[in-house]
Amino acid sequence: MKKLFALMLALSMLLTMGVASAEAEKVTVVFWNSWTGGDGDALQALVTKFNESQDEVYIDMTRSTSFGDMLQTSLPTQEAADLILLNCNDMNKYSSYLLPITDIWENTSLKAEDFSDAYLSMAKSGEELYGIPFQISTYMMYYNKDLFEAAGIEEVPTTFDGWTEAAEKITALSTEEKPIYGSGLFYCYNGQNQSVMQRFGTGYMIEGDEENGFTPNLLDNQALADALIWMKNLYDNGYNPKERDIDSMMAAGQIGLMTNGGWLKGTLDAAGVNYGIAMLPTVTGEDQADWALGDLNCFMMTTSATEETKLAAYKFIEWWFTGSGLEAQEVTQGVDYSNITPNAEWSISMCYVNAYLPTVNSPEYQANETLVTISPSDTAQVQMFTELGTLFWSDASTLHGQMVEDWVFNGPVNPTYEDVQDFLAVYQDDLASYIDEYYN
Amino acid sequence: MTSVGSRRLRSKSFERKLERTAYLFILPAAILLIAFCIVPMLGSFWVSMQKMGVDLGQAEFVGLDNYTKALSDRRFIQSIGITLKYTAVEVPLQMIIGVLLSALLAKNTRLNKLFRSIYFLPVVASAVTVGVTWQLVLHSNIGIFTYWLKWLGFADVNLLNNTSTAIYVVVFVAIWKTFGISAIILVSAIQNIPDSLFEASALDGAGKVRQFFSVTLPSIMPSFWFLLMTRIIGSLQMFDIVYTMTGGGPSRSTTTMVVYIYDQAFNSMNKTGYATAMSEFLFAGIMLVTALMYYIMNKTSD
């Protein structure tokens, strides 16, 4: 018995060593990102497929909500991940620790001309390339089809007045047992509320550039005042809840209309909500494709990477855009994914607009009505805070969420344009102090 | 004479040897203290006088600019007010609940032991878990607590999203999470009171309430002061529960000093130096409170 036990132990040790040495032969690329929601599970599944598809590179992926903290504390000591998914807005913040990857065109089969020039240029600093576009998270309008039907609404609103009318009708369905709100605007989250506000034509919060100087753009801004009054009226009239967690209410069938990114789809699919996706409204309803607030996230390499891990990461990035032979994921929309690239699968299943033209032009992408519907025009305005890459970007974005929430919850009822100006004066000063701090 | 002199010399050399040995004994602790407390403290003071992000390579010396800037930063001042408000509510409530519960749970009965364990459970739970769980319990729409309140007839219950109530919700959750440890410390203090004191007071005709105020309370004062001091320090440093439950909102109504410092250090660019300067203010405040408490404690025990 003892001999048998010893033999089994020895065998299992040998097997373990075999597996370990096979893993050791691969170059390990440490990959960090902040995709912790349902989309993160899909990303993990794709990374696992890459790891199983070849014997040269092993992607060791960590997803964390503390991604920013991890980067800040590990980059200066060269202990960060080799590969990261980073928002282009943060390129300036980490500029000393990002590795130029312009040589990716020489070391892979990828070509610069296959990427949308507008988005690729956002990942450049001077002539050097620092990122390869991974995902463009545009915001879109989610609506509950069942609530629309119950309220007798036949057309999806294309204007903000239409939004208010629909919200009023849907809110009327509310009962004591099940409160229902027609509108589900987030007041505290920047992306969500800005995606709506920019469509009023507010322009940047801070205008100008480094050469000519920057100016805060909150006061005497009619479009911004209109947006704020519209948002506040929705709340004051009881059409919009005072809640930060709108997603769970939408999943519970209590919200008629809301704005969010593709990451909400998984939650709504899982909850069995009968929902639709459309482009967000505008003032006139005619220029919906001309506004495209969204974050561009890119594959980027950090200075913690070595030449070996950099080349290994290139292999993964190349596979992401050109690999094939994938099977369907759970979060599909009934499309046959058996022969498309990981990038196309990611984009279609998650409803993320893509910057890789072969994917955009593929029949599968074009067959996805929602994706085509929410795709912005080539000349769409992408940002609202300020021009990409300004030093005060983070401060301005933090201020924005606080400003909107403060206005909606604490501002006067039935506000006028003058009320908005009085309220914004102090925030205008804040923005001026950021400009002064970083550029004067 | 010679032998007395040589004895004295031997004695002095022995004393010096003893002294050296004593220093050798405290050397490891001293090295650790210097390396992990004194040097970082001095380092942070140096950082607070720089305009810099996380990267030391791009630091620019700005003297006391960060300190003067903090004093004119209305958001920092607001965060001090919120922290003081939080401390003023949390600490007295925590102490009262701790003292009352410890008096009730002091006897080593089976039931008391069970309750002590139950009350201690939240102490060992992570702040993130506690924050997220309470966020769901108090959710204005799907929270069970909200549901009960509505069932009892309260309309429009929205505690976490209301600027006037959010801070009190955080206070409640913080007390819920930590009162177990206050109770345990005070229970052990009560259990150390000699029975003879209670017997003597009973012979003098003191009832339970009189015994509590005249015997129990004075006897547990050293533990009480210690607890009070640590609670005040903990409240001034409040971060984790606020960060996970409200993120400092709504409308900055729960942005405590540490939440604001964290925000400036990690969400803004090149503000690590500024955030450190604000931390120095917090450090000075805590040091002042601690010194004051020690003074009162010593005065009282005298």
Give the nearest partner residue to B140 out of A188, A243, A391, using CB atoms: A243
**Which one, of A131, A140, A123, A254, lies nearest residue A196 by Cα?**
A140
**Which pair of tokens denotes residue A78?**
């060269």
Tell me whether residues B267 and A242 touch, CB distance under 8 A: no
Q: Chain B contacts of A76, Cβ < 8 Å?
A: 54-56
Q: What pLDDT does A330 receive?
A: 44
**Domain assignment present for A146:** yes
Quote the CA–CA distance of A438 and B143 in Å, as a whole number: 43
Pick the last residue of a domain from A374, A409, A429: A374
Pick the last residue of a domain from A374, A399, A427: A374
pLDDT for B66-125, tens place per residue? Answer: 999 999 998 999 999 999 999 999 999 999 998 888 888 888 888 888 888 888 889 888
Same-domain check for residues A213 and A340: no
Tell me whether residues A242 and B140 touch, CB distance under 8 A: yes
DSSP H helices, chain B, are 2-33, 39-47, 65-71, 74-105, 110-124, 127-137, 144-151, 166-191, 195-203, 208-211, 217-219, 221-236, 240-245, 257-267, 272-301
Give the nearest partner residue to A409 out of B141, B163, B247, using CB atoms: B163
Quote the CA–CA distance of A380 and A136 in Å, as a whole number: 13
Same-domain check for residues A53 and A77: yes
Q: What pLDDT does B247 receive?
A: 86
Pick the last residue of a domain from A374, A401, A425: A374
A200-209, A339-348, B51-60, B237-246, range with the lowest pLDDT: B51-60
Same-domain check for residues A122 and A32: yes
Same-domain check for residues A132 and A144: no
The pTM of this model reads 0.78
**Domain assignment present for A6:** no
Q: Closest Cα of chain A to B105: distance in Å?
A: 40
CB A304 within 8 A of CB A326: no
Tell me whether residues A248 and B139 touch, CB distance under 8 A: yes
**Which pair of tokens denotes residue B35?**
């390396």
Statement: residue A345 has pLDDT above 90: no
Q: What pLDDT does B283 receive?
A: 95
Tokens 């209309």 belong to A257
Q: Between residues A166 and A378, which one has the greater pLDDT?
A: A166
Averaged pLDDT, B30-39: 93
**Domain assignment present for A123:** yes
Same-domain check for residues A405 and A359: no
- Domain B66-301 in CATH: superfamily? MetI-like (1.10.3720.10)
Chain A positions touching chain B (beta carbons under 8 Å): 68-69, 72-73, 75-76, 92-93, 96-97, 179, 188, 241-245, 248-249, 252, 254, 391-395, 398, 402, 405-406, 409-410, 438
Same-domain check for residues A282 and A318: no
Tell me whether residues B251 and A406 touch, CB distance under 8 A: yes
Statement: residue A18 has pLDDT above 80: no
Minimum CA–CA partner of A402 in chain B: B251
Q: What pLDDT does B152 receive?
A: 86
% residues pLDDT > 70 (chain A): 87
pLDDT for A254-307, tens place per residue? Answer: 999 999 887 788 789 889 999 998 888 988 887 777 776 667 899 999 999 999
**Domain assignment present for A8:** no
Averaged pLDDT, A379-400: 74
Q: Look at chain A and report how many structural domains it folds into.
A: 2
Q: Chain A contacts of B263, Cβ < 8 Å?
A: 398
CB B290 within 8 A of CB B233: yes
Buried b (16+ CB within 10 A) or exposed e, A307-320: eebbbbbbbbbbbb
Residue A328 — very low, low, confident or very high, per pLDDT cuts 50/70/90? very low
Averaged pLDDT, A237-253: 90
Q: What pLDDT does A331 receive?
A: 44
Same-domain check for residues A111 and A243: no
**Domain assignment present for A91:** yes
pLDDT for A30-70, tens place per residue? Answer: 999 998 876 788 889 889 989 998 999 999 999 988 888 88
Averaged pLDDT, A297-324: 93
Same-domain check for residues A155 and A103: no
Domain range for A25 is 19-138+295-374
Dihedral angle computed from the Cα positions of residues B114, B115, B118 and B123, in that order, rounded to the nearest 10 degrees:
-120
% residues pLDDT > 70 (chain B): 96
CATH of the domain at A264: 3.40.190.10
**Which pair of tokens denotes residue B250?**
């709504």
User: What ranges do the domains of chain B cover?
Assistant: 2-47, 66-301
Same-domain check for residues A75 and A101: yes
Q: What pLDDT does B83 receive?
A: 96
CB A398 within 8 A of CB B268: yes
Same-domain check for residues A418 and A364: no
Give the nearest partner residue to B161 out of A243, A252, A393, using CB atoms: A243
Give the nearest partner residue to A402 out of B160, B252, B268, using CB atoms: B252
Residue B34 — very low, low, confident or very high, per pLDDT cuts 50/70/90? very high
Q: What pLDDT does A134 receive?
A: 93
A120-129, A288-297, B166-175, range with the lowest pLDDT: A288-297
Same-domain check for residues A130 and A224: no
